[in-house]
Structure 1
Amino acid sequence: MFLLDPFSGISGDMFLSAMIDFVDKQELITTIKKVIDVDIEVKKVKKCHILANKVNIIPKDIDYNADTYKDIKNIIKNSDIQRDIKTTALDILKILANAESRVHDISIEDVHFHEVGNYDTIADIVGAAYIINKLKLKDNCLYRPINVGSGFVETEHGLLPVPAPATAEILKGLKIFFSDIKEELTTPTGAAIIKYINPKLVEGSFIIKNISYGAGDKDLELPNVLRVFRIEYIKMEKIVLLETNVDDIPAEILGYLYEVLEGKVRDLHFIPTYMKKNRPAYTVRAIVDRDKANEVAKIIMRETGSLGVRIFDIERITADRDFKTIKLFDEYVKIKIGKIDDEIISEKPEFEDLKKIAKKYGIPLKDLYKITFSKQIR
């Protein structure tokens, strides 16, 4: 798994530079050259004394004549590169063009990329598409908040605030922050790349395996690099445990509480216990997301009459979850798959799917479990 750390922003060339250590360098260069005829230089540079990779896209003495969405789209579509890389490149380009279209209120086919060079935009997008596919980054990437810089940037449309309007449009839904550096640190192309990857914001703990730095063009008071960690991620969730003891309500109330809290809790259980004066009682324990803790606590108090609910912040490690569907007696059964580090640790059929088949065909549920485990899932 990879963790993008854009503490100094992100651009297309910074992304290529940071990730080039993790892919076949020559294959990456060859893929870009199949789309656009440029020279590509890969070297080491220092940014604030930190050694970093620097990928330079160098134009040849020719007129590339491709700075509209339509032109660049056709160049990529007509190129001889792998289909999945081509599709990804076109999707990233469309993110970029859609943002420009919305900001300037024009048709996407009329978008003209004023602020980005045509040859390096194509190279950055195609190179990023190659990297994303080779490393499967859409399912294998986290990120830290993105530094967009501050101040204003000179454009064809005049002086505009940082982040530029198209960049801001692309970054919707991602966590950003402004810094005191009066520069445009995140470019539209860099924003489009990270938007396409759609990484999750990092939480919890991880083990660092490798680190790579990709240099930008600026010389700043902080290193102008994109830092990338290759990590072993310990998938840790921060959740809340709610707990209260009740000794004076009928069991029917507890059964009803299950219904009331359906969809609001991760888990709910009642634990037999003894309270003061040796009274038989139950501990009501609910595991919930943090943003639902207050709502669920109030429901528990209203339904049980409890005068207080204890709240504990807790963490849990979770397996990755995936699903597939199999056919059993002409009915579809969803299989839940649990994985740790890509190793399958469990495969379980959905109870509701098997229950439906058991009722329809008059087959004991326990036999359906046996049939499912013997036939499926491999």
Structure 2
Amino acid sequence: MNIAYLDCVGGISGEMLLAALMDGGANARELISQLNLLHLSGFEVRVTEEIKGGWRGIRLLFSVDTPFRSSYQLGDVLGLIASSSLPAPIKNTVVRIFERLACAEARVRGISPREVCFEGGQFIKSVLAVTGSCLALFMLQVERVYCSPLPVGHGPLISAGGVVPVPAPATAELMRGVPVYTVDAEGELVTADGAAIATTLAAEFGPLPPMQIAGIGYGIGAHSFPVPNLLRVFVGKKDIQGSSTGTPGSDDTVLVIETDIDDMNPEFFPYVDHLLRQAGALDVFLISTIMKKGRPGTRLTVLCPPALEEALLGIIFRETTTLGVRIRQERRRVLNRHQIQVQTPWGQVGVKVAYVEPDNPLQLSPEYEDCRRLAGSSGRPIQEIYHAARQAALDKLHD
């Protein structure tokens, strides 16, 4: 399994992560070219090598010449991503990150996520950095992300909205349920987009997991702190020994959060499902039950990484009528996975490949959203596109 570990030595931001992934093996020229799939004109990405605090690394500078509004809302980024030519998995991940960011901003401001306004110029740069980071992980075929505890400085911080504490309120909201520690640095080490990326993508927060390191990248930030303002990323493989001996998959630990509900409008469950998945749940499912006095009920079960326990509990208690939940930790075994892109007569489709040994795939699953998009544009049955993509993947893997 290909994994990445985000070592937040001196913080994390979208730009620092993208720079570190470039330094760790993602092709910078190809990445910048892929950002054109956003259909944004007039931006430039400058890649420079610098030394900060005795550490060499890559720093990115975004400049945006395209006229932009003073503020944007969540609907703007959703529309921008939906109209782009990005692969479906990238679209889905970027949307999850910005929805999570908007939900955090909405909570601290007491408004709905759709009403949150992002500052114009910084918003465009965040879209580029977040999308670029997701593209880089996709290009490196990273299947799982791990992250170190997040370092927190102190304030106050002067922003466009006035004086705010450090960490900024939305950033602090994003850190719920995540291990953090204080650093003697005045300023913002972890930005809102950095926190949104880390808490959306990371399966676990903690020390460097057992892995075979293939690449190390350093992304440099713009600030000067007593600790170097940089992010270190390790890219490599986990459970190499298990895969080579034929062990079926790798072990993982998840939380199972469960509750039975018999007094809630069932029309609300799809909305709760959406919020939980958007916040990082690995799976959500509903089971019909019979409760006390013969009343029909629904069992809501959520699988999630342990780091997201508090965030998902907040959604369940806020959005459902339950008075309590059951929580247990379970060990699971998952097949190693990566994704490839294949060409069909109607366009490109992403295919998820699951395997024990890389040269012996056990399952091939074309991306539903890609197949649906091509079915709509071509008029062909979706199952025809699905089977064509699966065959193209078989042919590609056996070449």
TM-score scaled by length of structure 1: 0.59
Amino acid at match of 2:19: S
Corresponding position of 1:10 = 12
Corresponding position of 1:99 = 104
Q: CA deviation at 1:29?
A: 0.9
Please say which structure displays the higher CA radius of gyration: 1
CA 1:130 to 1:208, structure 2 compared with 1: closer, same or farther past 3 Å?
closer
Counterpart Cα distance in 1 of 2:237 and 2:202: 19
Which of 165, 181, 194 is equivalent to 2:169? Answer: 165
Corresponding position of 1:76 = 81
| 1:184-333 aligned within 5 A | 184-200=188-204, 201-202=206-207, 205-233=210-238, 321-322=334-335
Q: CA deviation at 1:23?
A: 1.9
Corresponding position of 2:350 = none
Unaligned runs of 5+ in 2: 241-249, 252-330, 337-353, 363-399
Does 2:44 match 1:39?
yes
Equivalences, count: 254
Q: CA deviation at 1:152?
A: 1.9
Q: Is the 8 A contact 1:213 1:226 kept in 2?
A: yes
Amino acid at match of 2:17: F
Which of 114, 130, 136 is equivalent to 1:131? Answer: 136
Structure 1 residues 234-265: Cα deviation after superposition (integer angstroms, max 9, x where no partner)? 6999xxxxxxxxxxxxxxxxxxxxxxxxxxxx
Does 2:110 match 1:108?
no
SS at match of 2:117: coil
Counterpart Cα distance in 2 of 1:204 and 1:80: 34
Structure 1 residues 118-142: Cα deviation after superposition (integer angstroms, max 9, x where no partner)? 22011112112212333354x4222
**Between the two proteins, what is the percent identity of the paired residues?**
27
Q: Is the 8 A contact 2:47 2:58 kept in 1?
A: yes
Amino acid at match of 2:16: M
Amino acid at match of 2:33: T
CA 1:116 to 1:182, structure 2 compared with 1: closer, same or farther past 3 Å?
farther
CA 1:103 to 1:71, structure 2 compared with 1: closer, same or farther past 3 Å?
same
SS at match of 1:179: strand
Corresponding position of 1:250 = none
Structure 1 residues 202-254: Cα deviation after superposition (integer angstroms, max 9, x where no partner)? 366444433210010112222211011224446999xxxxxxxxxxxxxxxxx
SS at match of 1:30: helix
Which of 27, 30, 35 is equivalent to 1:27? Answer: 30
Counterpart Cα distance in 2 of 1:319 and 1:210: 28
Which is further off, 32-41 or 103-112?
Answer: 32-41
CA 1:16 to 1:319, structure 2 compared with 1: closer, same or farther past 3 Å?
same
Q: Is the 8 A contact 2:71 2:120 kept in 1?
A: no
TM-score scaled by length of structure 2: 0.56
Amino acid at match of 1:57: F
Counterpart Cα distance in 1 of 2:113 and 2:201: 22
Amino acid at match of 2:183: S
Counterpart Cα distance in 1 of 2:201 and 2:164: 27
Q: Is the 8 A contact 1:152 1:184 kept in 2?
A: no
Corresponding position of 1:152 = 156
Q: CA deviation at 1:338?
A: 9.7
Counterpart Cα distance in 2 of 1:115 and 1:61: 11
Amino acid at match of 1:9: G
CA 1:79 to 1:210, structure 2 compared with 1: closer, same or farther past 3 Å?
closer
Q: CA deviation at 1:186?
A: 0.2
Counterpart Cα distance in 1 of 2:36 and 2:224: 29
Q: CA deviation at 1:103?
A: 1.1
Q: CA deviation at 1:4?
A: 0.8
CA 1:322 to 1:196, structure 2 compared with 1: closer, same or farther past 3 Å?
same
Does 2:95 match 1:90?
yes
Q: Is the 8 A contact 1:115 1:156 kept in 2?
A: no
